[in-house]
Structure 1
Amino acid sequence: MSDKRLWALFISLVLVVAVLFFWNLTTHIAFILELRAIKIGGLLVVGAAIGVSTVLFQTISNNRILTPSIMGFDSLYLLMQTCLIFFLSGLTYAHMPGNLLFLLNTLTMLIASVVLFTFVLKATRHDIQLMILVGVIFGLVFRSFSTFIQRLIDPSEFAVLQSVMFAQFGGINEKELLSALMLLVLVCCWVARKCQVLDVMLLGRRTAKSLGVDYDRLQFMVLCAISILVSVSTALVGPIIFLGLLVSALAHSLMKTHRHALLLPAAAMISALILLLGQALFENLLERQSTLTVVIEFVGGLFFLVLLSKGKIK
């Protein structure tokens, strides 16, 4: 039954992509198709990265409420953009090459997360809960520091900063998308080989080690995979805080299994579907009077409260 639901998700995703790709084509077809291919590709990459990273993070933390955003990735991203605009000026920031900015954001967040995982896990003897607590504290520090700098920024330059405080899917270029896709494919290929071992990790540290799993090494590798996925998605479009929690809840509710071979692709496809349908709603019905992330956070928050009230999240 779960396999059939996974195929249903795949067929639905293909149909939605096809409809959005060929919808309302009139003139300049080649140019429009190129723009749509980049935008739809960006939505698919970001959706897959968020879905997979959230399920992986909940596996190693053994908590269905937590997402990678609790580690302060979004706060670090906001701090980076704030510092760039403050020290370089909004005009210089606006004219920075997109590839350079993407590479800078990705490498900074990746290096920061790997350093955090290496030293904190070693100091706490691989206590994931303490590491999450340290991540929360760092996130608060980053957000407080960025708020302080924002008060010093010129009002005209603060308008530039506001444009990057929410995820934007219209500014993706082809080179950034290809780089993000390559990293996503590499991580997903590695994760696909570890699905059965990840299933064992759900049994807990002691049980997994008794079954022959090198738990500490695998935990660190999974955290590195999560950091790559989160860094890529955040650097590509900006922070999307709530989507992962919504996607994970939907994937578990729909698939009704703990097998990562089914949960991970289901979460990736559900996340991509939400972004694609949300973008279509945003462009055609709301006529760009809001941002896609605002729609996702509002609808996702309501849905999560419904799941919580019905006891669907345990």
Structure 2
Amino acid sequence: MRKTGLKLTILAVLAIICIALYGLYDIKGSFDYAFPRRMIRVLAMIVTGVAIAYSTVVFQTITHNRILTPSVMGLDSMYMVVQTCIYFFLGSSSILVLNKYFNFTISIAAMVLFALILYRFLFRADKQPIYLLLLIGMVLGTMLGSVTSFMQVVIDPNEYTSLQNKMFASFNNVNGDLVWVAVGILAIAFIYGYTILNKLDVMSLGRDTAINLGINYDRIVMNVLILSSVLIATSTALVGPILFFGLIVANLSYQFFATYKHSVLIVGASLISIIALVGGQFIVEHLFEFSTTLSVIINFIGGVYFIYLLLKESRSAG
């Protein structure tokens, strides 16, 4: 337990260092103008990182697999379908584009509805082979991506240029008001999530064992699916899609802490997320000088890591 506390302390110190560097390094002009705006971006990164980390860890607990994530199951693709449809049918001058609150709300509602329909069929009996679930999720994501690509090909070029801002996660133009809305959603989710941490520890032992120990397994599974969907939808609607980020931070937390306790795994994954996002954005801005985006780097590393985990699972299953 002391060793776990030391590891969490190290991660917390690294996260604070990353935040301090990003907030204070190379401020040009007015400090009173630049610093608050940097901290809004930092807050957006913290909210996004914690939401993705929390939702991925609990999602993998109820699916009993460390490869599946809500994003891999097609939620990010659904976000792009919603945004593309808005630009395709209504145009960039639509109130759904100009009003950030409307866009934020519609994006979250569409992704959560998609997730509920998906989970209603896939997790109904909790007996589907895990690779079948993975295949279905990836097929749905690919199908939605194809629909999005088709619409983007025939859309007006000016509308497509405006739409491109929605296609990649960006922390540079985060709406400060939406960040506080996301903070409120995250706080509500964590209040409920805190009450089921011990139940999640038991559920990680398997369905039959959890039921024998008095857990209302099916109800908790559905509640956790809704919770993870809301968190992923919120983070995606706030900054854009980051496909493999949850996969990376959750598995790093498993390897670093080697424990079943969700109170440790979730906090650890959240701290790793903050370090990766804030530290990564610092490198993108000051080392690469905005020649690339953080989401592109994360998706590249995450894709390679995803293939590694698939091969590792395949070997262990064989």
Q: TM-score, normalised by structure 2?
A: 0.90
For 1:34, the aligned partner's letter is P
Return the alpha-carbon distance in structure 1 between the equivalents of residues 304 and 115 of structure 2.
31
Q: Which residue is equivalent to 1:69?
A: 71
Q: Select between 231-240 and 125-134 the one with higher mean Cα deviation.
A: 125-134
Whichever residue aligns with residue 167 of structure 2, its letter is M
| SS of equivalent to 1:6 | helix
Q: Which deviates more, 244-253 or 87-96?
A: 87-96
Question: What aligned pairs does 1:6-25 form with structure 2 within 5 A after superposition?
Answer: 6-25=8-27
Q: Which moved more, 1:259-268 or 1:244-253?
A: 244-253
Quote how far apart the aligned CAs of 1:29 are: 1.2
1:177/1:305 CA distance change after superposition, 3 Å: same
Equivalent residue for 2:230, pick from 225, 228, 231 = 228
Residue 20 of structure 1: SS of its match in structure 2? helix
- Of 81-90 and 150-159, deviating more is 150-159
Helix, strand or coil for the counterpart of 2:105?
helix
SS in 2 for 1:70: coil
Q: CA deviation at 1:214?
A: 0.5
1:290 CA displacement: 0.8
Deviates more, 1:69-78 or 1:229-238: 69-78
For 1:241-256, what aligned pairs fall within 5 Å after superposition?
241-256=243-258
Kindly provide the CA deviation profile for residues 221-246 of structure 1, in whole angstroms up to 9, marking residues without a partner as x.
Answer: 10011001100011001110111111
> Partner of 1:296 in structure 2?
298
Which amino acid is the alignment partner of residue 191 of structure 1?
A: G
Higher mean displacement: 164-173 or 94-103: 94-103
For normalisation by structure 1, the TM-score amounts to 0.91
| Structure 2 counterpart SS, 1:53 | helix
Corresponding residue of 1:160: 162
Asked if the contact 1:85/1:93 (under 8 Å) is kept, the reply is: no
Q: Size of the alignment, in residue pairs? A: 311
1:170 aligns with 2:172: yes
Query: Paired residue for 2:239?
Result: 237
Match of 1:204 among 199, 203, 206: 206
Further displaced range: 10-19 or 128-137: 128-137
Alignment partner of 2:282 out of 260, 280, 283: 280
Query: Unpaired runs of 5+ in structure 2?
Result: none
- Deviation of 1:220 after TM superposition, in Å, equals 0.4
Question: Matches of 2:285 and 2:95 in 1, distance apart?
Answer: 27
User: Which residue identity is paired with 1:239?
Assistant: P
In structure 1, what is the equivalent of residue 32 of structure 2?
30
**How far did residue 182 of structure 1 move?**
0.7
Q: Mark the runs of 5 or more structure 1 residues left unpaired by the alignment.
A: none
Do the aligned partners of residues 120 and 179 (structure 1) sit closer, same or farther apart at CA in structure 2, a change above 3 Å counting?
Answer: same
Are the equivalent residues in 1 in contact too, given 2:78–2:114 (CA < 8 A)?
no
- Partners of 2:89 and 2:305 lie apart in 1 by 41
What letter matches 1:181 in structure 2?
A: V
By how many angstroms is 1:280 displaced? 0.4
1:133 and 1:209 map into 2 onto residues whose CA distance is: 28
1:6-28, Cα deviation, whole Å (9 max, x unpaired): 12211221222122212223431
Give the superposition deviation at 1:133.
5.5
Contact persistence 1:55–1:264 (CA under 8 A)? yes
Deviations 1:3-60 (A, max 9, x none): 2111221122122212221222343111111211110000000011111111111111
Aligned pair in 2 of structure 1 residues 299, 4: CA closer, same or farther (>3 Å)? same
Q: Which stretch of structure 1 is more off in the superposition, 4-13 or 269-278? A: 4-13
- In 2, Cα distance between equivalents of 1:94 and 1:276: 30
Deviations 1:88-108 (A, max 9, x none): 123447961222211221122
Residue type of the alignment partner of 1:41: L
- 1-structure distance, mates of 2:233, 2:96: 21
Pairing 1:79–2:84 present = no
**Mean Cα displacement is larger for which, 251-260 or 106-115?**
106-115
How far off is 1:259 after superposition? 1.0
2:270 aligns with one of 260, 268, 284? 268
The residue number in structure 2 matching 1:125 is: 125
Contact 1:282–1:288 under 8 Å retained in 2: yes
**SS of match in other structure, 2:155:** coil
1:160–1:224 CA distance, 2 compared to 1 (3 A): same
Alpha-carbon distance in structure 1 between the residues aligned to 2:198 and 2:64: 16
CA–CA distance in structure 1, aligned partners of residues 177 and 262 of structure 2: 31
Bigger shift: 64-73 or 94-103? 94-103
Letter of the 1:150 partner, please give it: Q
Distance 1:216 1:151, change over 3 A: same
| CA distance in 1: counterparts of 2:305 and 2:134, whole angstroms | 25
Contact 1:84/1:93 (<8 A) preserved: no
Q: 1:16 to 1:207 in 2, by over 3 A?
A: same
Identical residues among aligned pairs (%): 36
